[in-house]
A = this chain, B = another copy of it.
Amino acid sequence: MKATDRRRQIAVIGSSEPDPELMKLAVEIGGYIAEIGAVLICGGLGGIMEAAASGAKEQGGLTIGILPDYNKETANPFIDVAISTGLGHARNVIVAASGDIVIALPGSHGTRSEISIALKLHKPVIGVKAWADIQGVRQIDNLEELRKVMVPYL
In the assembly, what is the distance between CA of A81 and CA of B100, in Å?
A: 11
Interface of A is mostly: mixed
Number of copies: 4
Range, interface on chain A: 35 or more
Instruction: List residues of chain B with CB within 8 A of the CB of A81.
Output: 6-7, 9, 39, 62, 64, 81
For the A-B complex with A4-B78, A6-B75, A90-B90 known, give 16 more contacts whose Cβ atoms are closer than 8 Å.
A6-B81, A39-B80, A39-B81, A69-B88, A70-B97, A82-B98, A86-B88, A86-B89, A86-B94, A87-B94, A88-B88, A89-B93, A89-B97, A90-B93, A109-B116, A109-B120
Q: Which residues of A contact B (CB under 8 A)?
A: 1-4, 6-7, 9, 39, 54, 57-58, 62-64, 66, 69-70, 72, 75, 77-90, 92-94, 97-98, 100, 108-110, 112-113, 116-117, 119-121, 134
